[in-house]
């Protein structure tokens, strides 16, 4: 190998080595940059979020918006059951769902469905007893919340339930 070739081989080797070092530096640099870039949001996910909050987050402006709002409110009002159990007057069912918790166990001093527990109360009559069940009653025995804690019970429903209870004595 001539002197000239040796020089060439050495310089070329150095060049290759230099390029390799440069390449490694680029790799490190690129991975550093990659760490700093935030992961891109999934557009599908964003779309679904927007869909979910639309009923609440929708902007209601102007007459169209007002009309849309009014319609929504009317719908909510008509579909919401305003009376418990769809207004059912089934005293037994209401008792078992609402009143039993106290009146079957005697919890909180509630008169149980036995005649002795009601002797002192009977002279109030069905109407009087119904009235105190509607208003709630704080007596010697304990406290009963208005309508047994179910404000959505109608007067008629409470009355039907009291009648059913008295029939069990």
Which residue number, 43 or 151, has a Cβ lying nearer to ligand HEC? 151
By CB atoms closer than 10 A (0-12, 13-18, 19+), residue 100 is: middle
User: Minimal distance in Å, beta carbon 116 to ligand HEC?
Assistant: 14
Q: How far apart are CB 124 and ligand HEC at their closest, in Å?
A: 5
Q: Is there a contact between 90 and 156 (Cβ–Cβ < 8 Å)? A: no
In this structure, the number of other CB atoms found within 10 A of the CB of residue 139 comes to 12
Distance CA 151, CA 81 (A): 13
Least distance (Å) between residue 122 CB and ligand HEC: 9
Q: Between residue 80 and residue 139, which ones bind ligand HEC under the rule CB under 6 A?
A: 94, 98-99, 101-103, 108-111, 121, 124, 129, 132-133, 137, 139
- Per DSSP, helices labelled H in 80-124 are 91-94, 100-103, 115-118
Applying CB under 6 A, the residues found at the interface with ligand HEC are 94, 98-99, 101-103, 108-111, 121, 124, 129, 132-133, 137, 139-145, 147-149, 153, 158, 161-162
């Amino acid at each position: 190998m001539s002197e000239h070739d040796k020089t060439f081989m050495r310089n070329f080797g150095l060049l290759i080595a230099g390029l390799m070092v440069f390449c490694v530096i680029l790799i490190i640099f690129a991975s550093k940059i990659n760490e700093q870039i935030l992961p891109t949001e999934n557009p599908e996910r964003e779309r679904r979020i927007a869909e979910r909050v639309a009923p609440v987050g929708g902007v209601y402006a102007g007459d169209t918006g007002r009309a849309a709002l009014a319609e929504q409110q009317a719908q909510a009002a008509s579909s919401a059951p305003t009376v418990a159990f769809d207004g059912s007057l089934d005293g037994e069912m209401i008792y078992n769902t609402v009143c039993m918790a106290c009146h079957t166990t005697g919890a909180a001093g509630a008169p149980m469905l036995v005649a002795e527990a009601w002797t002192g109360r009977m002279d109030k009559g069905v109407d009087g007893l119904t009235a105190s069940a509607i208003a709630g009653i704080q007596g010697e025995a304990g406290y009963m919340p208005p309508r047994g804690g179910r404000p959505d019970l109608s007067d008629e429903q409470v009355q039907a339930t009291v009648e059913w209870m008295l029939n069990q004595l």
